[in-house]
Homo-oligomer: A and B are copies of this chain.
Amino acid sequence: MMTPVRARPLVVEPIRPTDPCTNCEARSFSVCNAIEAKDLERLAALAVPLAIDAGRTFIEEGDTAEHFFNVTAGTAKLFKLLPDGRRQITGFACVGTFLGLAVSSTYAFGAEAVEPMRVCRFSRAKLKALLDDFPAMEKRLLEVASNELVAAQEQMLLLGRKTARERLASFLVVRAVNMASGVLPCSSRPADKVTLPMTRSDIADYLGLTIETVSRTLTRFKSERLIDIPSASEIAIRDFAALEGLATGLN
């Protein structure tokens, strides 16, 4: 159940293109777009691009927080653990997500790559110094934090008050909406296909359920013609409206 400890050093295959930021395909999604093109050089000087293998833990809960991370490719799961191994995944970080916001000196959560990832790593101290020169970026960070706070509140509602069916429906609906907005101009219709790079165990730990309940609920959705399950990591949405109704508790 628990993540095996890897002995290898963290830095895996560092990449050093001429200018990591200017052509960064993740910039438009991320906090970095608060910085104008002419100033990108200063940001680039701080950014250490890294490749991270799937399954690797790159933030350990409780470690001293020396770095910020910005996800440029792939997906990570963020989690908190109880001493006996119980795990709560607090979110999935995809392209553009900024990690490491914490006032305290230690990370309040762990992070592990779900898929092979690319991230930009920043020294906390240096980036904080940089923030003094770019108030726009600080504003952007506040926006990001506020958005995450809203998402966290929504997740508390899910964990505290929704049934297993409602939780899975919510999960699929959010995924479908996010997948669509990533590709198409914002706020279009939801995707009709959802990919699940994470395992059933991850989904369970995200929704506060067990893998069995996740599996059973998805099979039931399928038998109700709400979804299709072409493969374990792919879900086709057949009745988005019904799922949305379920997700919002309209039964």
Interface residues of A (CB under 8 A from B): 78, 80, 82-84, 86-88, 90, 101-104, 108-109, 132, 135, 138-139, 141-143, 145-150, 152-157, 159-162, 205, 207-208, 248-251
Contacts and interface: CB of A to CB of B under 8 A. Distances in A.
Contacts of A150: 102-104, 108
A83 B249 contact: yes
A88 B250 CA distance: 16
Contact of A146 (B87, B88, B103): B103
Contacts of A159: 156, 159-160, 208
A147 B87 CA distance: 21
B146 A86 contact: no
A57 B102 CA distance: 31
A90 B249 contact: no
A86 B249 contact: yes
A207 B161 CA distance: 10
Contacts of A157: 80, 82, 88, 90
Given A142-B145, A250-B83, A88 B208 contact: no
Contact of A249 (B84, B101, B147, B248): B84
A157 B156 CA distance: 9
Q: Which of A87, A141, A147, A159 has the most CB of B within 10 A?
A: A159
